[in-house]
Amino acid sequence: MIRSLNILLRPLTFNAQTNTLRFAKKSFLVSLILLAGFSSFAQKFERIEPMFWFAGMHNPKLQLLVHGENIATSNVTLSYPGVKLVKVNKVENPNYLFLDLELSSTVKAGTFPINFTVKGKKIFSYNYELKNRDKTAGRIQGVTQKDFIYLLMPDRFSNGDKSNDVVKGLAETALNRDSMYYRHGGDIQGVINHLDYLKDLGITTVWMTPEIENNMEKASYHGYAVTDHYKIDPRYGTNELFKKYVETAHAKSMKVIKDIVHNHIGTGHWFFKDLPMKSWVHQWPKYTQTSYRDQTVMDTHASAADRKKMLDGWFVPSMPDLDEQNPYVQNYLTQNHIWWIEYAGIDGLRLDTYPYNDPE
């Protein structure tokens, strides 16, 4: 049986000259052909983030980002003791839904299906997991003025696993230790291998530049052009290896700081290629770079125009500036940091490009 579904779409365009994305002013009507059972939809479903969460959190609220082609045309239901679907938020881009959940204080760890239906027909079901929190005493220690912090760039520190030096499918494939801007091959295993060396130096806390995925064509070594907030860059290792690194450091009575980036992302980020809404990143009539003049943020006599250019201008053309006034962006970033703390047990966070972040 074949069904026809009409969907109102607003096309998203990217201007290569100005490095901006925008929705077209005019909409157009598309007629989609759906097979009975809507089996084709499951193949176009992309992701839910956070991909899992934790039972027993102090904040009962959880917002799930759901991404999939025309996902906004579906209805969402779930049934699990202690979990309430409060609201289904639809945004400008029909490829997104934001699900507001409320978790009771007594909710138990477990897995439950989130069902997506169109006209009463189930087209996809995602098994969402709530994990138990690791409440081991002293697992997350915090960082104080007594700590001796050592900053290192994992790509330039030590190559502990040569098998991940070049990873198929990533944009940058070259490895050249003679060049400042190419990758050198260092990874998380290399850091693990030398924790004893760092401890012998008197180091109590290790702070690495961002370890999460930077799938960019050039200069991906530094880690500050994030392309996936929930995935360790495969040239460094895996999420599981990062967790092992933190656990190994703790076993040696050392601490770990995670470098986080609120201000911007990389143009290779999956959600930059399909923005949830125009206000996800700061948009300008033409490409506008930050002035780098952080005095305008602190100076009460600075002009509004100078302050806006400093805060909302892009750091460089390859790093779009996130709109931190957008409540969806705020939730996304906040939950991501909480997820890494709970998942890996990190002890502290370092906020990159601090003056460029919206102070409010």
Q: Which residue in this structure is represented by tokens 């930059």?
A: 272
Average pLDDT estimate for 39-44: 49
Kindly report which listed range (16-20, 81-85, 140-144, 313-317) carries the lowest average pLDDT score.
16-20
pTM of the model: 0.87
Same fold across 2-132 and 149-356: no
Predicted confidence (pLDDT) at residue 10 exceeds the cutoff of 70: no
Write down the pLDDT at residue 257: 99
In the chain, where the domains are located = 2-132, 149-356
String of DSSP letters for 135-183: --TTSS----TT--EEEE-HHHH--S-GGGSS-TTSS---B-TT-SSSB
> In this predicted model, what pLDDT tens digit does every residue of 267-294 receive, in sequence order?
999 999 999 999 999 999 999 999 999 9
Per-residue tokens: 191: 């850091």
Give the confidence band of 1 by pLDDT, cuts at 50, 70, 90. very low
Residue type, 197: Y
Among 54, 49, 47, 127, which Cα is nearest to 336's?
49
Mean pLDDT of 16-32: 42
Pairing of strands 45-49, 20-23: unpaired
Hey, CA dihedral for 347, 98, 261, 272, is it positive or negative? positive
Distance CA 153, CA 155 (A): 6
User: The tokens of 155 are what?
Assistant: 């790509």
| DSSP letters spanning 253-282 | T-EEEEEE--SB--TT-TTTTT-SSGGGB-
Q: What percent of the chain has pLDDT over 90?
A: 84
Q: Does domain 2-132 have CATH number 3.20.20.140?
A: no
Q: Where are the beta strands (DSSP E) in 166-254?
A: 205-208, 212-213, 228-232
CATH 3.20.20.80 fits 149-356, yes or no: yes
| Length of the chain counted residue by residue | 360
The pLDDT, as a whole number, for residue 320 is 98
Which tens digits make up the pLDDT trace of 104-150? 999 999 999 999 999 989 889 999 999 999 998 889 999 999 999 99
